[in-house]
Amino acid sequence: MSPQQDDRNPSKKPPVSMRKVEANRQNALKSTGPRTPRGKAYSRRNSLKHGLFIRDIDECWDGEDPLGLRRYYQRLRDELQPVGPCEEIEVEHIAICWLRLQRLWRYENAEVEAANTSVGRNQENGLYHPWIYSPTRSTQMSLLQSAKKEAEANGQISPELKEKIFVESFKLRLSWPSFEAQAEKTAQKKRRDIAMKIAQERKMPLSEANVLLDRDPKSQPERTRFVAVETVSGAICDLVEGWCNLARYELQNEYQRQLIPKDCKVDKIIRYGNAFERQMSRSYDRLDRLQRRRRGEPVPPIMSVRLTR
């Protein structure tokens, strides 16, 4: 490439002048980084992401108790009785491995809690509503509400609308007679209320309304309207109760499913947990060998086992 072509290359950066280089050097001298022990301790955490691979007994993550870790480290020292820097390093590493495992357990609990929070948020948004997010249930509820309005207005439900309800729900076709029978029982219990309704609508004494009900109750439009409305109300209550029970069951199952994190999280937990336990086991083994050697006891040779197919 010729010098002329090289000058026209837009990707090539222009050379930095000596004046700018000297200015950058002077500015760098003004920033010396942290000077106090506390500032240096904080700056050591600048590259930390999750703190799982900590290697300093004094380096704790946010929310951890450094004094608690120190106390646990001291208890390990009292139990294992290290002598010399090599044994002390192994005991310190064992304490750090336990700290890592505790972090891993908290991480797993945090994943479960986050998943449960997500399920709770979905519940607040209506994801587990008994019928809104189910087209079939929504259609059934819409037809039943239309039937109730028709019964309140006309005193009965048209055969066409009733057939649409039965087509959408075979369960309602089978259970409709039981809803009608229950409505008849309710009408008998509320005979006085129906009589008062007849008296108000027809502007007659309550005694005459009672006579009409005694003579031929099923021929009275007010009573027929009451039975029709009660029949539809019974069907609505029965469906809603069943749907609510299913929704609660589905919600409970969803919470139970969150007790184990997703596959990618489980793989991470298992991978990190196995790594920490291997490191801790090796530290225990090295400590045991060091202490045996110090006490003059025979130290078995290191065995390396490799499995092949």
* Confidence at residue 33, expressed as pLDDT on a 0 to 100 scale: 62
* Confidence at residue 141, expressed as pLDDT on a 0 to 100 scale: 92
61: Cβ contacts below 8 Å, ≥ 6 apart: 48, 51, 54, 103
Judge if pTM exceeds 0.85: no
Contact 224/156 with Cβ under 8 angstroms? yes
* Confidence at residue 9, expressed as pLDDT on a 0 to 100 scale: 54
* Confidence at residue 208, expressed as pLDDT on a 0 to 100 scale: 81
Lookup result for tokens 């045996």 = 292
* Confidence at residue 206, expressed as pLDDT on a 0 to 100 scale: 82
Angle ∠(218,221,225) on CA atoms, nearest 5: 90
Contact 251/128 with Cβ under 8 angstroms? yes
Tokens at 210, concatenated? 């009672």
Question: Shortest CA distance to 186 belongs to which of 216, 237, 230?
Answer: 230
Contact 104/52 with Cβ under 8 angstroms? yes
Query: Along the chain (309 residues), what's the average pLDDT of each consecutive run of 10 residues?
Result: 49 71 74 62 48 52 73 90 91 89 89 88 79 85 94 91 93 93 90 83 82 78 89 93 88 86 89 92 92 90 71
* Torsional class of 298: left (φ above 0), alpha (ψ -120 to 50), beta (otherwise): beta
* Confidence at residue 49, expressed as pLDDT on a 0 to 100 scale: 46
User: Treating both helix axes as pointing N-terminal to C-terminal, what angle do 191-202 and 206-215 enclose, rounded to 10 degrees?
Assistant: 120
